[in-house]
Amino acid sequence: MYNFVMSQNGWIAVIIALLIIAAGAWWFTSQPAAVPTADNSTQLSGETNTTPTGDTGTLVGGDAVVDTTPTSAVVTYNGSSFSPSEVTIKKGGTVTFNGPSTMWVASGPHPEHTNYDGTTRNAHCAAGAVPSFDQCAAGTSYTFTFDKVGTWPFHDHRSVGAFGKIVVVE
């Protein structure tokens, strides 16, 4: 039989070596794996791809985006304010303004109403004029189709303290 005797320094060296090996094994197994993405780059497993796409929508796993921007909205006027005061729709979408109260929906700024198409209220409300974002007369319901991308402020022409904005996106 062999009489195996190791010095104290030898045991310390063995213990340090085992600790280094264990730490290396723990580090290696705790790293997330790289996974390929749709654009042939890689990302770490468990990470979310946050590259901006310019789309409006909801991220549904990986890189799939479902567009959740509505194509229509309803805004209610109560005689002193619009609710909601801000809506976002897709280009080509419609907004219907309803009240129980009479309103005159008009684009900003008051009293010119020039923001949407650059024409004045008098020009785009004239008989035979091309319709613009202006109700042109008081009523309890008004619907307009937005064909221009942008942010379009509006107000009640009869009560300029009641205002809001429509955001139109691609």
- The predicted-structure confidence for 72-91, as pLDDT tens digits, reads as follows 999 999 999 999 999 999 99
Same domain? For 28 and 101 the reply is no
**Residue in the block written with tokens 């197994």:** 29
Contact in structure between 116 and 148 (CB atoms under 8 Å): yes
pLDDT at 3: 56
- How far is it between the farthest Cα atoms of the chain? 116
pLDDT tier for residue 52 given thresholds of 50, 70 and 90: very low
Same domain? For 88 and 61 the reply is no
Same domain? For 76 and 160 the reply is yes
Same domain? For 62 and 90 the reply is no
- Residue 37 gets the label, from left (phi > 0), alpha (psi -120 to 50) or beta, of beta
Q: How far, in whole angstroms, is CA 139 from its chain's centroid? A: 32
Residue 87 maps to a domain: yes
Residue 118 maps to a domain: yes
Please give the average per-residue pLDDT across 25-51, as a whole number: 55
Same domain? For 137 and 99 the reply is yes
Structural domain range at position 22:
8-47+56-66
Residue 1 maps to a domain: no
DSSP 110: T
Residues 130-140 pLDDT 10s? 878 888 888 99
Same domain? For 79 and 62 the reply is no
Please give the average per-residue pLDDT across 43-72, as a whole number: 60
Same domain? For 85 and 162 the reply is yes
Percent of the chain with pLDDT over 90: 34
pLDDT at 57: 59
Same domain? For 79 and 105 the reply is yes
pLDDT tier for residue 63 given thresholds of 50, 70 and 90: low
Structure tokens at 121: 């209220």
Domain CATH number, residue 89: 2.60.40.420
Total domain count for the chain? 2
Same domain? For 29 and 84 the reply is no
pLDDT at 70: 86
The closest alpha carbon to 139, from 98, 169, 84, 170, belongs to 98
